[in-house]
Amino acid sequence: MSERAAVKRRFGHRARLALSPARVRKADDQAHAARTMWNLLHAWWRMMPKEKRTLANADAAIRQAREDIDFLAVLPAQAAQAVLKTYFQAWKNCWEGRAGAPDFKGRVRTVMSVDVPQGRDLNIVRVHRRWGMVNLPKIGRVRFRWTKDLPVGKRANGENRITGARLIRDVLGWHIAFRIQTLEVQPEPHHGPDVGIDVGVTVPIALSDGETYEHGEWLTDKEQAKLLDLEQRAARRKQHRKPGEHTSRRLHRTYDQIAGLRAKAKRRALDWQHQTTTAIARTYGTVVVEALTITNMVKSAKGTVDQPGRNVAQKSGLNRAISGEAWGRTVIMLTYKTVRRGGTLHKVPAPGTSLRCSACGFTTPGSRESQAVFACKNPDCGWAGNADHNAARNVLHLYRMGLALIPAAGRAVVRRAKRVKPATAR
Asked whether residue 424 carries a pLDDT value surpassing 80, the answer given is no
CA-CA distance, 152 to 162, in Å (whole number)?
Answer: 8
Looking at the structure, do residues 5 and 74 belong to the same domain, yes or no?
Answer: yes
Q: Please check whether residue 323 lies inside any domain of the structure.
A: yes
Asked whether residue 419 carries a pLDDT value surpassing 70, the answer given is no
Q: Please check whether residue 239 lies inside any domain of the structure.
A: no
Asked whether residue 378 carries a pLDDT value surpassing 90, the answer given is no
CA-CA distance, 198 to 395, in Å (whole number)?
Answer: 7
pLDDT at residue 408, rounded to an integer: 39
Q: How far is CA 48 from CA 42, 64, 66, 106, in A?
A: 10, 16, 19, 22
Q: What is the CATH number of the domain that holds 326?
A: 3.30.420
Q: Please check whether residue 282 lies inside any domain of the structure.
A: yes
pLDDT at residue 415, rounded to an integer: 45
Looking at the structure, do residues 128 and 56 belong to the same domain, yes or no?
Answer: yes
Q: In sequence order, what are the residues at sequence separation of 6 or more whose Cβ sits closer than 8 angstroms to the Cβ of residue 57?
A: 48
Asked whether residue 284 carries a pLDDT value surpassing 80, the answer given is yes
The tens digit of pLDDT for each residue in 5-57 reads 788 888 889 999 999 999 999 999 999 999 999 999 999 999 999 889 898 99
Contact predicate 302/308, CB 8 Å: yes
Looking at the structure, do residues 345 and 329 belong to the same domain, yes or no?
Answer: yes
Model confidence at 282, pLDDT cuts 50, 70, 90, reads very high
The tens digit of pLDDT for each residue in 226-267 reads 999 999 999 988 887 777 778 788 888 999 899 999 999 999
pLDDT at residue 272, rounded to an integer: 93
Long-range CB pairs of 238-242 (<8 Å, 24+ gap) are none
Looking at the structure, do residues 144 and 198 belong to the same domain, yes or no?
Answer: no
The letter for the amino acid at 314 is: Q
The tens digit of pLDDT for each residue in 86-132 reads 999 999 999 999 889 999 998 877 889 999 998 888 999 988 889 99
Which of 144, 163, 186 is the endpoint of a domain?
186
Looking at the structure, do residues 282 and 135 belong to the same domain, yes or no?
Answer: no
Looking at the structure, do residues 136 and 278 belong to the same domain, yes or no?
Answer: no
Residue range 273-279: mean pLDDT, rounded: 93
pLDDT at residue 411, rounded to an integer: 40
Q: Please check whether residue 250 lies inside any domain of the structure.
A: no
pLDDT at residue 305, rounded to an integer: 56
Q: How many domains does the chain have?
A: 2
pLDDT at residue 275, rounded to an integer: 93
Contact predicate 387/367, CB 8 Å: no
The tens digit of pLDDT for each residue in 179-222 reads 999 888 888 888 889 999 988 888 889 898 888 899 989 999 99
Residue 239's CB: how many other CB atoms inside 10 A? 7
Q: Please check whether residue 251 lies inside any domain of the structure.
A: no
Looking at the structure, do residues 374 and 414 belong to the same domain, yes or no?
Answer: yes
The order of strands in the sheet holding 205-207 is 212-213, 205-207, 194-199, 286-291, 344-349, 403-408, 411-416
Model confidence at 3, pLDDT cuts 50, 70, 90, reads low
Looking at the structure, do residues 162 and 203 belong to the same domain, yes or no?
Answer: no
Looking at the structure, do residues 208 and 280 belong to the same domain, yes or no?
Answer: yes
Q: Where does 110-220 have alpha helices with state H?
A: none
Q: Can you say whether the dihedral through the CA atoms of 24, 12, 86, 67 is positive or negative?
A: positive
Contact predicate 162/122, CB 8 Å: yes
Which of 135, 170, 186 is the endpoint of a domain?
186
Average pLDDT over the chain reads 85
Q: Please check whether residue 248 lies inside any domain of the structure.
A: no
Q: Please check whether residue 2 lies inside any domain of the structure.
A: yes
Looking at the structure, do residues 136 and 208 belong to the same domain, yes or no?
Answer: no
Asked whether residue 423 carries a pLDDT value surpassing 50, the answer given is no
Which of 169, 186, 203 is the endpoint of a domain?
186
Looking at the structure, do residues 176 and 206 belong to the same domain, yes or no?
Answer: no
pLDDT at residue 91, rounded to an integer: 92
Q: Could you tell me the pTM of the whole model?
A: 0.80
Looking at the structure, do residues 139 and 206 belong to the same domain, yes or no?
Answer: no
Full residue range of the structural domain in which residue 164 is found: 1-186
CA angle 230, 264, 248 (to 5 degrees): 35
Q: Please check whether residue 245 lies inside any domain of the structure.
A: no
pLDDT at residue 143, rounded to an integer: 94
Percent residues over pLDDT 90 in the chain: 39
